[in-house]
Structure 1
Amino acid sequence: MQRTVFDEDHEAFRSVLREFIATEVVPVYGEWESAGCVPREFYRKLGKLGILGLGIPEEYGGAGETGFRFNAVIAEECARAGVTFGGASAHLALPATFVKYTTEEQKRRWLPGFVSGELMTAIAITEPGAGSDVAGIQTTAEPSADGKHLVLNGVKAFVSGGAQADLVLVTCRTPGSEQDDRRGGLSLIAVDAHAPGVTVSAEQATIGLRSSDIVEMTFTDVRVPVTDVVGEQGKAFACLADIFPQERLGIAVGSYAHAAAAVRFATEYVQERTAFGKPVAAFQNTKFTLADCKARVDALQAVVDRALEAFDAGQLTAEEAASAKLYCAPAAARIVDACLQLHGGYGYTTEYPIARLYADIRASQIFGGTNEIMRTIVAKSMGL
């Protein structure tokens, strides 16, 4: 079935991106994984290519895209090559927040660097004791004596891109929280990652996403100018509610992309590998397994394409985004697992990209709100 979600501009972008990944990423990706991050210069290359400015208005140097389809192309092409852009994934998730919730002064101060890669960003929501329960955040920001700053204290975990970020959006609790409203009093503040009191721990050792600098960050009496509050103070939960649907759509798209790439890798492998005197592809079990995987990838694609169309039309609800993630993430994980099995023992080595896909895809059922939380959201939308 022909896809209709992408037009000529998307496909032209795909062609350029595929060549860029083949020349600039694939040959050195193993080095990035060993280092635990991508070189900072790579972000500037993404900026020159226009990737970092996709969702930023033209007056600040961006492309002014409001949809998610170009982001979907990025996810598909990275998965196709078995790579990621490291911490840039977090940066790419934030244009909507910066555009919608920042003041004009903040836009002019931050967005040009955001587009060029000179100012890399990350978002810090999760804490050691508060993951999917965002309302349980304990990090605080109290007014300074002069009233010109907020004094930030707390610890954030699993900050993607945190080691190389220049500006971190931190969700914290500010004065005004109502005891009967756990969501009240949450604020979003932009913190200079190089300011006194900001400490980036060693990389949190994850089983996948090895090129992403996923770190823990500690904030000790960090003085943040009140002019760096993003959105209305005490109203961060509404801002986060805007972020989550796009984030969950991105996870659904990435899950589909991983599954499609896994089928491609497995199909190529079984045609080259021989066993008992004939190609592994000649065995009925191989054919049936890959046929099942292909059919499931088609189903994933249908869900993702429909969600992309709804998002770009401004019609994708939080419940629908949660449903897309809930379906795509575990379904893709099962497909990748089956494709790894067809690689035999070599599938369990880092020699083949299927192993990387296998480790990376597991995070999709945790990040962006666990799938248990997605079930709660979907069930609630059903009146349950």
Structure 2
Amino acid sequence: MNHRLSDEHEQLRRTVAEFARDVIAPVIGDYYERHEFPYDIVREMGKLGLFGLPFPEEHGGMGGDYLALGLVLEELARVDSSVAITLEAGVSLGAMPIHLFGTQEQKAEWLPRLCSGEILGAFGLTEPDGGSDAGATRTTARLDEATNEWVINGSKCFITNSGTDITGLITVTAVTGTTPDGRKEISAIIVPAGTPGLTVAAPYSKVGWNASDTRELAFTDVRVPVRNLLGERGRGYAQFLRILDEGRIAIAALATGLAQGCVDESLKYARERKAFGRPIGANQAIQFKLADMEMRAHTARLAWRHAASKLVAGERFKKEAALAKLYSSETAVDNARDATQIHGGYGFMNEYAVARFWRDAKILEIGEGTSEIQRLLIARELGLADLNGAR
């Protein structure tokens, strides 16, 4: 693996780093404290083409790859995770299912507006009683042959980008029947925003990611045309497993950005803050803590880039994605804790970025598959699942 970025990738990284520093950093703290979605920032991200990065130009995208998306997410999260997760969910969960599994008509209808940032897409997977057991889906979709419509009933929770003023669609997983062996047949269906019967709850009161949109959804006899089926009927479970595998690389890049942001802020503070007549960075205890933080962020970066390189090359990447997501999310939590400690009492004050980083870090060990699920996936990839039936 060549760890050097191409000139094109490096230019993209620099451009987004400058955007994050000059446009996002000065204002995002106020959005965060007001729990307000940053529409103007999202609009500027759309103008930069960030929502269309990994999609083909024929559908309004930039013709880039998943490495480019990861670089952007890392640089955004280095300053703020609310903005980064808005992009990550909009691309990986909102537009990617349409790109991978949609018909030509569905792609033509949705992708240009998703790629431009004119609208956001959401992915309705998690349910109140489901959590990590995504196969326990209870939401149903019944085919009404008289009207040629799907009739959807059920609920989803923790859905990012599902209730903004620019949300355009929600892809919903639902039980559409029973397989020959008696299991649930799960399919994915596109539900346009504003469809009658779709109820979008008020935003959650969250610990972190306070400038992003996260809501619960209810479906009461929601009717959409049969053509809104995304991909093959009964393949919804397999489809969202692929979406999650790719999304874990994106979350790993985001977590790496948060971890590096903790290093950035702590280095600056260690040089400026004086105690006992000298900068606290002169103390070996602070130096060692920062060295460990940099080591973890660097290793996390190598992990997500390695997983992305395998994805871009068309190689199997499930284990590498799980490794990257597990390590980088735990690195984000560790670095946020250490950054807060370095800042002392100021680290507990919301005016400092590390307080925001600390609040944002923990969800990274939960969303897109918990740390426990990542360890399970890695163990399976090592062949240990075969031992369950051994005697």
- 1:308 Cα shift? 2.2
Give the corresponding residue for 1:68.
Answer: 66
Alignment-derived partner of residue 92 in structure 1: 91
Cα gap change, 1:340 to 1:41, in 2 (>3 Å): closer
Instruction: Judge which range, 109-118 or 297-306, deviates more.
Output: 297-306
Letter in 1 for 2:74: E
Per the alignment, residue 10 of structure 2 pairs with 11
Q: Aligned AA for 2:312?
A: D
Give CA-to-partner distance per residue, 1:213-255, whole Å, 9 cap, x none: 1111111111011111100111111211211111111122222
Aligned to 2:178: 176
Kept after mapping to 1: 8 A contact 2:24/2:41: no
Alignment of 1:136-175 (within 5 A): 136-164=136-164, 165-175=167-177
Please tell me whether the aligned partners of residues 323 and 374 of structure 2 are also in contact (alpha carbons under 8 angstroms): yes
**Matching of residues 231-242 of structure 1 within 5 Å:** 231-242=231-242
Please give the alpha-carbon distance, in whole angstroms, between the structure 1 residues aligned to 2:38 and 2:294. Answer: 36
Deviations 1:178-217 (A, max 9, x none): 5643xx4101111012111111111111111111111111
Deviation at 1:336, TM superposition (A): 2.0
Equivalent residue letter for 2:169: L
Looking at structure 2, the residues matched to 119 and 290 of structure 1 have their Cα atoms a distance apart, in angstroms, of: 40
Partner of 2:207: 207
Structure 1 residue 326: deviation in Å?
1.9
Equivalent residues of 2:17, 2:75 under 8 A apart = yes
1:49 shift after superposition: 1.2
Asked whether the 8 Å contact 2:155–2:218 carries over to 1, the reply is yes
Structure 1 range deviating more: 209-218 or 69-78: 69-78
Say whether the 8 Å CA contact 1:249–1:321 is kept in structure 2: yes
Please give the alpha-carbon distance, in whole angstroms, between the structure 2 residues aligned to 1:42 and 1:294.
Answer: 29
CA–CA separation in structure 1 for the residues paired with 2:188 and 2:97: 10
The farther-off stretch of 231-240 and 55-64 is: 55-64
Aligned residue runs from structure 1 range 281-320, under 5 A: 281-320=281-320
Structure 2 equivalent of residue 324 of structure 1: 324
Q: CA, structure 1 residues 273+55, in 2 after alignment: closer, same or farther (shift >3 Å)?
A: same
Q: How far did residue 272 of structure 1 move?
A: 0.5
**Counterpart AA for 1:69:** L
Contact 1:38 1:87 in 2 (8 A): no
Which deviates further from its counterpart, 75-84 or 221-230? Answer: 75-84
Which residues of 2 match residues 368-379 of structure 1 at below 5 A? Answer: 368-379=368-379
Question: Sequence identity, in percent?
Answer: 35
Q: How far has the Cα of 1:312 moved from its partner? A: 1.5
189 and 35 in structure 1: CA distance in 2 versus 1, 3 angstrom threshold = farther
1:257 matched to 2:257: yes
What CA distance in whole angstroms lies between the structure 2 residues aligned with 1:17 and 1:296? 23
Residue in structure 2 matched with residue 54 of structure 1 by the alignment: 53
**1:15: how far off?**
2.6
Query: 1:345: how far off?
Result: 0.7
Q: Pick which of 304-313 and 360-369 moved more.
A: 304-313
CA deviations on 1:344-374 (whole Å, 9 max, x unpaired) are: 0111111111111111111111001111111
Q: Deviations over 1:24-59 (max 9, x none)?
A: 322321332244342445433322211111122111
Q: Tell me if structure 2 keeps the 8 A contact 1:336–1:354.
A: yes
**Cα distance in 1 for residues equivalent to 2:203 and 2:329:** 25
Tell whether the 8 Å contact from 1:93 to 1:247 is kept in structure 2 after alignment. Answer: yes
Question: 1:320 deviation in Å?
Answer: 2.4
Q: Secondary structure at the match of 1:171?
A: strand
User: What is the identity, as a one-letter code, of the residue corresponding to 1:77?
Assistant: E
Long gaps (5+) in structure 1: none
After superposition, the C-alpha distances for 1:117-176 in whole angstroms (9 at most, x for unaligned) are 222101010010011111001001111252411111111000011111210011111123
One-letter identity of the residue aligned with 2:379: A
Closer/same/farther in 2, CA of residues 18 and 299 from structure 1, 3 Å limit: closer
Kept in 2, the 8 Å contact 1:36–1:213? The answer is no
Q: Pick which of 26-35 and 166-175 moved more.
A: 26-35
CA RMSD after TM alignment: 1.9
SS at match of 1:31: helix
1:51-72 deviation per Cα after TM superposition (whole angstroms, max 9, x unaligned):
111122111221122x212112
Q: Which amino acid aligns with 2:42?
A: Y
Distance in structure 2 (CA, Å) of the matches to 1:170 and 1:7 = 37
| In 1, Cα distance between equivalents of 2:4 and 2:254 | 16
- Which secondary structure does the structure 2 equivalent of 1:190 belong to? strand
My pick for the range that moved more, 102-111 or 171-180, is 171-180
TM-score (norm. length: structure 2): 0.92
TM-score (norm 1): 0.93
Q: Give aligned pairs, total.
A: 380
Distance 2:90 2:117 in 1: 9
Q: CA 1:340 to 1:69, structure 2 compared with 1: closer, same or farther past 3 Å?
A: same
State how far apart, in whole Å, the 2-side matches of 1:218 and 1:87 are: 21
